[in-house]
Amino acid sequence: MTSRAVIFGGSGQLGSELKASLPAAWTCEAPARVQLDIAAADSDLLTSELRRLGPEAVINAAAYTAVDLAESEPEQAHLVNAVAPANLARVCADLDIRLIHISTDFVFDGTADQPYLPEHECNPIGVYGASKLAGERAVMAAHPEAIIIRTSWLYSRFGANFVKTMLRLMAERESLAVVADQVGTPTWAAGLAQAAWSAAEHPGLHGIYHWSDNGACSWYDFAVAIRDEALDLGLLTRAVEIKPIPGTDYPTPAARPAYSVLDKNSSWRDLEVPAVPWRQQLQRMLLDLQEHKND
């Protein structure tokens, strides 16, 4: 029997990987934003559209992710990351549709010294994190059977991200300086997509889960790994010097958590998706990028 899903944010990194990794037992619809913008749609329109599409599950990968711009656009960030998910959650609850909502490590303040558990106290330090936390709370209040998946440092062959930016800069420059005192875990969006599909296939699960790849590194460590793996694959022709710098040398409008490693043990157990080291996932993504370089 085939199940149907609706993906919001289908043109983004995760949405693209969700469509690329569609399980055999599923079909999906991914309405373009111009067709159905959940930040602009009222409950009646959402209800009508979801009744028409008839999904068993909705995966909400739509988000306002411009972390720095959010500091000057708090209302827009709150609309997309909190108000829209709340409305979607109410409609999904009314229609008895499973909801998987994607959130972020930015709900934490980064002061921990060990990986954050899903139940750890949240304390966002910027507008983006605050808007995502408000969305989490609104989703769970409206749809207690929903699943929220927090993730971190997302990248893919699709869209704009740190890996692709580093590859471009390494091809253009003789040296780079990268922040070395912010620690987290990179996440290949293809692995997150696998976790989200597993969440859709486990209707008995609900609540908050964490998903990133296994291990931890700084942005500097990540950049060095990108360079070295890209050299091995021939994606780069020379080894660019990468200099570690403190975050204070690279000021941004929004503060970043100094430590945002997520504890994924409950996800690996309940979602039955294996842990994969972040560097191994980076290798897979770069191979994927190489194979699709002419797309």
Catalytic positions, written as ranges: 128
In terms of Cα–Cα distance, which of 229, 220, 221, 230 is closest to 168? Answer: 230
Query: Which residue matches tokens 């993730």?
Result: 151
**β-strand partners of 209:** 149
> How is residue 279 written in tokens?
């560097």
**Which two structure tokens, joined as six digits, stand for 86?**
């709340």
Instruction: Give the 3-state secondary structure of residue 27.
Output: strand
CA angle 141, 100, 123 (to 5 degrees): 55
Question: 3-state DSSP call for residue 267?
Answer: helix
253: phi then psi, degrees, rounded to nearest 5:
-60, -35
Closest CA to 191 of 21, 23, 7, 61: 21
Q: Which residues contact 77 (CB under 8 A, 6 or more apart)?
A: 64, 66, 70, 127, 128, 131
